Structure 1
Amino acid sequence: MAEKNTDAHVGPNGQPISASRRGSVSKSAGPFQTEIEDVTNVEMTDEQSRKVLRKIDLFLLPIMGFCYMLQFLDKGALAASTLLGILDPKTGIHLKGSDLAWCSGIFYFGYMAWSFPSAYFVVRLPIGRYLSMAVVLWGGILMTTAGCKSFTGLMIQRFFLGVAEAAVAPGFSLITGMFYLRKEQPVRQAGWFIGNCVALILGGLVSYGVLNIPNPAIPHWKLLFLIEGAVTVAYGVFMFFVLPDSVSTAWFLKPEERLIALARTLKNKTGIMDNGKFRWPQLWEALRDPQTWLLVLYTFCVNLPNGALTTFQPLIIKGMGFSSLKSILLGLPMGGVEIVFLVITSFLASYLRNARVLLMIFNTAVSMVGMVLVYCLDSQAGRMTGLVFTVVFAMNIPISLSLVTSNVAGFTKRSIVSSMLFVGYCVGNIVGPQFFLASEAPVYKTGLASALAGYSFSIFFLILLYLYYHFENKRRDKLYGSETTIDSDQELADELSNQTDRTITSFRYLL
């Protein structure tokens, strides 16, 4: 679907939009509560809009990107610790059978348990401060891993770690929707998600460095959790002072630049000004929307292999005949492959029409081919090559988040849909590792087969989602006329109406 004039600062006649369409920020208002006033003495040019966009990119993306890198680094610490001695009967925690799989799964139970409460609090509370406190909490909980002495203690710790981390990715997705146009969002979602890719590389280097510390006072695996947790706590404190709660509180923008930033995103029609009140009708609509369930089912299926690969990937590599040190280093290329595919697909998703869902199908297919190589080949080089490409599907996460921020209107509805996506993410990550049976180590044939099934079903649901968007747009064009017939005043009224994508007649889905 072609986007019509999505640069909010340009009217249908190509002239700059006057401040009468921008609004001014009320000093007494909460997040996103604005008063639209006729400020006729201010005009917004293309250059002014680009300057504001550059400032938002410069300040916002590094803050979120570094935080997301820490989150994946901390999430992968359990897998890395399997090579640093956490399974050692003398200096580690005695785990047997499927205990490791459950330690991975319980994290996502906690993540899932807090998803819906978080969806409520992220609307009701200042989002920047809420996310910052969550980061401090998760860093502190991560450090307590070093004090765990039993399977039960580790399970409790992992559950609350999942609770603490649950707010971050959905919260970053909502912040991206606040500050960027719909066509700009895939690249910006990728801008902070690249922290995930960097963490795959950096995590291996950190683990390698910790493992080479000679005769530490405490076991290497405990050092890993203490170091990464302490860095996370410090960064959470930093975020508290620099991550804005809304466009109107963005400290790095001048007052007039905040107005421009707000005006730019009005044409998203996704309810960027509808924050501060939880709207229950939008909750019920989210639960009835076919788009929601197709995204959730896709997310569940594609994460069947994700949880298993995150936890068992070092053991799979070691099972190919490599030492612990080499197994750590051989995990580094996965981060490089992710960066390449992230850059390519995010830019294509931004600049090609109707390409987002198709690119997600492509990434998933690449991962499925990689898993086929791991499952079918006997050679060490062939299986290792396949394993490197099994992670490409993860590059769909920023694209799927951009679908939510672009295609779900209404702040409450969008927060609910984001939370439901992460529930699907959690359930997939809980179920997936259970197929990796300890009795099948180090080959894990049943687990690899479940991963192949997950990739196949996820492609199926993506095809259904693409068809749904296509036919729904056609239906709306037939009922209400083409999007090109809708004038800018109507689009502004749609944004301020606090309606949803299902009720705004001018809304068209991005494919």
Structure 2
Amino acid sequence: MEKQQSPPEAKASDVGKLGVETSTARDVDFGQVLEVESTPELRRKVLLKLDLLLIPLMGICYMLQYMDKLALSQATLFNMRQDLGLRGDQYSWSSAVFYFGYLAWSWPSSYLIVRLPLGKYLAVAVFLWGGILMCHAACKSFGGLMTARFFLGVGEASIAPGFALITGMFYKREEQPARQAAWFIGNSFANVIGGVITYGIGKIQTNGVNSWQLIFLILGAITAAYALLLFAFLPDSPATAVFLRKTEKAIAVQRTLENKTGVMDAGKFKWDQVRMALKDPQTWFLVLYTLCVNFCNGGITSFAAIIITGFGFSTFNALLVQMPIGGAQLVFLVLTSGVATFVRSTRILMMILNTAVSMTGMIMIWKLDDDNRAGKMTGLCFGAVFAANIPLALSLITSNVAGFTKKSVVSALVFIAYCVGNIVGPQFFLASEDPHYPTGIKASMSGLILGIFFLICLYVYYIWENGRRDRLYGSPLQLTGTEELHDELSSKTDREIESFRYVY
């Protein structure tokens, strides 16, 4: 069930009956919020303002972040490995240690996201990320590069989970797939334009600074500067959005009350919700899916430039021909997120489609002859399509996990799995197999197959659980506005709210 019938509107007078302290939940006075008259026209106006201001703010940041992540792979084309004396599998480990940093900070981040003002916390993380990227230019050895990569992972660990939570705060459940995809488009644009930008940086002639050092310095400085814009405008909650007027803030809160996902109960970390997250089957299906598909992601992100040179392209052409990879991601991102938004119960089906396309791409790279450059490049483009699943997976978390603490914990566990997959994946790309990496390609393909299996398990679980709740509690369409408001402010999880139904 993707959409529910809108319940009767709650009234301000209903708030006192709920036993909720209306001035403490995300600094929102729900009595005042519900006094504001909300018309369809005003709601559309608020939604348009959110789309025009909030989504680009996150999308540009995510584009910069992914360009920074690709910088290591692109720097290998400018003799970084030779200048730092990297031998054997040291490059693989310098790539993997980034995810050790991400892994180490994922759990502390899930706590801080709940306790601290979310927008300000993310802005500081982005600023540190940019500064640490600039420090890569000062690396002189394998040890220095390992240290820089570790702390870069620490800097990134909060960004995608934080953006997902912000999307859950501001958008209805049925709106979330398209909006998660909208800011994630920055990832695809980074793939499209990142090679061109790096190509341009590589053409800069300087004395004393190598081209690969310039890549880190320039991209890091741009990211750190953008963090100042985030600090000024990225909101902590609908009640603190500086680009919304007072009435618009109230309407922004009204719009999402029926989500019942507890985004307004931030500020206190609830350990009982941690236990519920660990016992929830949907948590582990999402974790196992994420783990498996990121065997592929770790290899593609770290070794794409090297693999492309193995197809017979020159150093600079290897940068330019990475553009179709981002183009393929963008096409499937728009296609599958659009279908998931407008066709009920298709989110997981679209994720399965993207994963199957990537699996096909890996098979093409593995099986096509070496002289078939076009076919192998097409396979590499298809192989990266599964990344279009990230916003759909995030929309499942923001739509189906109620309770702010539980949501942050599930997000942390999923991104821990993301890190582990990205750590393990590059280890199958053996230095002795450079630049074709047949073992890594086969490992990536196996992970994608397992990912499809766990998505099917999650799909079946959601259908079964919704049916079980309908049999026990009846249809959720009969709730009054007061009951909807009570569910949102109850600090309960999706496992405890009888009217909660999963979207898939």
Does the pair score TM above 0.5? yes
| 3-state SS, counterpart of residue 252 of structure 1 | coil
Asked if the contact 1:32–1:276 (Cα under 8 Å) also holds between the matched residues in 2, the reply is yes
Distance 1:64 1:41 in 2: 31
Distance 1:496 1:441 in 2: 55
Letter in 2 for 1:66: I
Is residue 44 of structure 1 aligned with residue 35 of structure 2? no
CA change 1:291–1:150 in 2 (3 A) is same
Q: What is the 5 A alignment of 1:347-366?
A: 347-366=338-357
Q: What is the 5 A alignment of 1:197-346?
A: 197-346=188-337
Distance 1:448 1:400 in 2: 24
What's the CA shift for 1:321? 1.1
CA change 1:459–1:223 in 2 (3 A) is same
Q: Deviations over 1:15-57 (max 9, x none)?
A: x66555799xx9x956713333277863211111110111111
Q: What is the 5 A alignment of 1:66-465?
A: 66-88=60-82, 92-378=83-369, 379-465=372-458
Asked if the contact 2:462–2:503 (Cα under 8 Å) also holds between the matched residues in 1, the reply is yes
**Number of residue equivalences:** 499
Tell me the TM-score normalized by structure 1.
Answer: 0.95
CA change 1:39–1:79 in 2 (3 A) is closer
Distance 2:478 2:148 in 1: 56
Letter in 2 for 1:392: V
Distance 1:238 1:464 in 2: 42
Asked if the contact 2:174–2:341 (Cα under 8 Å) also holds between the matched residues in 1, the reply is yes
Distance 1:387 1:507 in 2: 41
CA change 1:141–1:39 in 2 (3 A) is closer
Q: Deviations over 1:419-450 (max 9, x none)?
A: 11100000000000000001111211110110
Is residue 4 of structure 1 aligned with residue 7 of structure 2? no
Q: Which moved more, 1:449-458 or 1:35-44?
A: 35-44
Q: Which moved more, 1:340-349 or 1:295-304?
A: 340-349
| 3-state SS, counterpart of residue 77 of structure 2 | coil
Q: 1:63 aligns with which of 54, 57, 60?
A: 57
Is residue 503 of structure 1 aligned with residue 502 of structure 2? no
Letter in 2 for 1:48: L
Structure (1/2) with the larger helix percentage: 2
Structure 2 residue aligned with 1:475: 468
| 3-state SS, counterpart of residue 278 of structure 1 | coil
Q: Which moved more, 1:218-227 or 1:485-494?
A: 485-494
Asked if the contact 1:18–1:42 (Cα under 8 Å) also holds between the matched residues in 2, the reply is no
Letter in 2 for 1:126: P
Q: Deviations over 1:295-329 (max 9, x none)?
A: 00000001001011101011001011111011111
Distance 1:362 1:240 in 2: 37
What's the CA shift for 1:5? 2.5
CA change 1:39–1:226 in 2 (3 A) is closer
CA change 1:100–1:500 in 2 (3 A) is same
Paired-residue identity, %:
56
Structure 2 residue aligned with 1:484: 477
Asked if the contact 1:4–1:484 (Cα under 8 Å) also holds between the matched residues in 2, the reply is yes
| 3-state SS, counterpart of residue 198 of structure 1 | helix
Distance 1:310 1:53 in 2: 34
CA change 1:492–1:202 in 2 (3 A) is same
CA change 1:205–1:38 in 2 (3 A) is closer
Asked if the contact 2:308–2:318 (Cα under 8 Å) also holds between the matched residues in 1, the reply is yes
CA change 1:41–1:443 in 2 (3 A) is closer
Q: Deviations over 1:465-485 (max 9, x none)?
A: 000000000000000001223
Letter in 2 for 1:294: F
Asked if the contact 1:473–1:509 (Cα under 8 Å) also holds between the matched residues in 2, the reply is yes
| 3-state SS, counterpart of residue 81 of structure 2 | coil
Asked if the contact 1:435–1:447 (Cα under 8 Å) also holds between the matched residues in 2, the reply is yes
CA change 1:40–1:246 in 2 (3 A) is closer
What's the CA shift for 1:215? 4.6
What's the CA shift for 1:210? 1.3
Distance 1:114 1:5 in 2: 40
Distance 1:439 1:270 in 2: 49
Q: CA RMSD in A?
A: 1.8
Q: Deviations over 1:179-238 (max 9, x none)?
A: 000000011101110100011122101111011123544100000000001111111112
Q: Which runs of 5+ in 1 are unaligned?
A: none
Asked if the contact 2:130–2:220 (Cα under 8 Å) also holds between the matched residues in 1, the reply is yes
Letter in 2 for 1:415: S
Q: Deviations over 1:76-134 (max 9, x none)?
A: 1000001122023xxx2111111111011100000010001000001100011100111
Distance 1:160 1:338 in 2: 28
Asked if the contact 1:106–1:159 (Cα under 8 Å) also holds between the matched residues in 2, the reply is yes
Letter in 2 for 1:207: T
Tell me the TM-score normalized by structure 2.
Answer: 0.96
Letter in 2 for 1:191: A
What's the CA shift for 1:489? 2.4
Distance 2:27 2:466 in 1: 31
CA change 1:329–1:21 in 2 (3 A) is farther
Letter in 2 for 1:332: M
Letter in 2 for 1:5: Q
Letter in 1 for 2:95: S
Distance 1:388 1:133 in 2: 34
Distance 1:150 1:39 in 2: 57
